[in-house]
Amino acid sequence: MKKACEEYRVILLDQRGTGLSTPLTPTTLSQFTSAKQQASYLQHFRADNIVRDAEYVRSRLLPPGERWNILGQSFGGFCAVTYLSLAPAGLRYVLLTGGLPPLGDGCTADTVYRECYKRVALQNAKFYSRFPQDEEVVRSIVRHLAEEGGVAMPSGGILTPRVLQLLGLSGLGSAGGFERLHYLLERAWDPLLVPDASVRLSHTFLRMVEIWLLDFDTNPLYALLHESIYCQGAASNWAAQRVREELGDQFDAVKAATNGQKVLFTGEMIFPWMFDDLKTLQPFKEVAEILAKKEDWPPLYDMTTLRNNKVPVAAAVYYEDMYVSFKLSEASAAEIKGIRMWVTNEYMHSGIREDGPRILDHLFDLLKGKLLLR
């Protein structure tokens, strides 16, 4: 922000459904009397309408015909590519950080998860290499949860082996995540003060797990629409779960713990059982099923417009990004005329947070020709 404000007026948009843009919460969604009504409303909260909102804001803030510059991080980058497709006349240039979306027809979610599970497995291997003692800690937690049939968390939800695996979403893919996950696992068990007392997971650990999963409470929109961001004219049909089943036992936590193998955490995936296991998502189980089966999602990208793009675009692509596949990003970049890519393994998906000034400088240099084409 400080770097950007040196030369630009910065406008932060709360995309529809978030922040102050009519936020969607468990209480606001409860105003609808049926899951069908909720689904009808929620279908309007994807990138195409976010771009239309942005264009409306631009037309009110800028003089007629004046364009603005946009920066999109992660899903913001997906929205920026939709912007290039639907309203390029409103853009002077575009910066993308960790946010080049897959551009195939239909629903590309299956393709995305086949690549992302590979990266998640690699991140698990790196985590356990960094903290090898945590292998047995995680196995012991999983065995305990399996034997107990789950353990109640402070707010009333149930911690099960598959819910425990969700910690990989925050713990494996961003700077400092390995350390945060390790420190969390250090607090897993209550110390035994009395000989022969029963072993229990600590209240602190259970509460911290809840905090890690709190986004599903305050922002159900993420869980409900995550897979739909990959869909154009086709349903996702719970792609992450289907691809997980294709992998056999690789992410079977109980089997791994029983056999003395590494228990693998998962990544940025939404599974249908989350709407059973996570108390905060239980009210949305029916609408989630409707959205997962919805086939008539409108298009998000215009390939002809992208292949004839005239708006300068610079993208930071992170080689070891766990959330946005480098392989798929590279394929998408080939479809956007004139894009300049900076591929680096210096940062993870959270690069803009770690070293924003340097990343912005590098992208500006690409746009301004200070870094020549090679």
- pLDDT tens readout for residues 24-47: 988 899 999 999 999 999 999 999
DSSP 29-68: HTTSSSHHHHHHHHTT-SHHHHHHHHHHHHHHHS-TT--E
Model confidence pLDDT, tens digit, residues 241-283: 999 999 999 999 999 999 999 999 999 999 999 999 888 899 9
Give the model's confidence band at 156: pLDDT under 50 very low, under 70 low, under 90 confident, else very high: confident
Phi then psi for residue 184, to 5 deg, are -65, -45
Selected catalytic residue, list 14, 105, 276, 296: 296
Question: C-alpha angle with apex 225: 123 to 157, nearest 5 degrees?
Answer: 70
pLDDT recorded at residue 373: 77
> For residues 287 and 23, which has the higher predicted lDDT (pLDDT)?
287
Instruction: Look up the pTM and report it.
Output: 0.94
Region for residue 348 given its phi and psi (left: phi exceeds 0; alpha: psi -120 to 50; beta: otherwise): beta
Question: C-alpha angle with apex 270: 273 to 267, nearest 5 degrees?
Answer: 120
CA neighbor of 124 nearest in space, from 241, 239, 247 = 247
Neighbouring residues of 252: CB distance < 8 A, sequence distance ≥ 6: none
What is the spatial distance between Cα 161 and Cα 132, in angstroms, rounded to a whole number? 20
Give the model's confidence band at 155: pLDDT under 50 very low, under 70 low, under 90 confident, else very high: confident
pLDDT recorded at residue 374: 75
* pLDDT at residue 370 greater than cutoff 90: no
Longest CA pairwise span in the chain (Å) = 77
Selected catalytic residue, list 74, 174, 332, 350: 74
pLDDT recorded at residue 308: 98
> For residues 133 and 155, which has the higher predicted lDDT (pLDDT)?
133
Model confidence pLDDT, tens digit, residues 159-199: 999 999 999 999 999 999 999 999 999 999 999 899 888 88
* pLDDT at residue 216 greater than cutoff 80: no
Mean of the per-residue pLDDT values of the chain: 95
Model confidence pLDDT, tens digit, residues 223-247: 999 999 999 999 999 999 999 999 9
DSSP 196-252: TPPP-B-HHHHHHHHHHTTHHHH-HHHHHHTGGGGEESS--SSHHHHHHHHTTTTT-
* All structural domains of the chain: 1-103+301-368 (3.40.50.1820), 108-293 (no CATH)
Q: Active-site residue 144, yes or no?
A: no
What is the spatial distance between Cα 133 and Cα 317, in angstroms, rounded to a whole number? 32
Q: Are 145 and 277 in contact (CB under 8 A)?
A: no
Q: Active-site residue 349, yes or no?
A: yes
Phi then psi for residue 365, to 5 deg, are -65, -35
Q: Active-site residue 74, yes or no?
A: yes
Q: Taking residues 111-138, report their average pLDDT.
A: 97
* pLDDT at residue 118 greater than cutoff 90: yes
The count of other CB atoms within 10 Å of the CB of residue 65 is 8
Selected catalytic residue, list 110, 321, 349, 350: 349
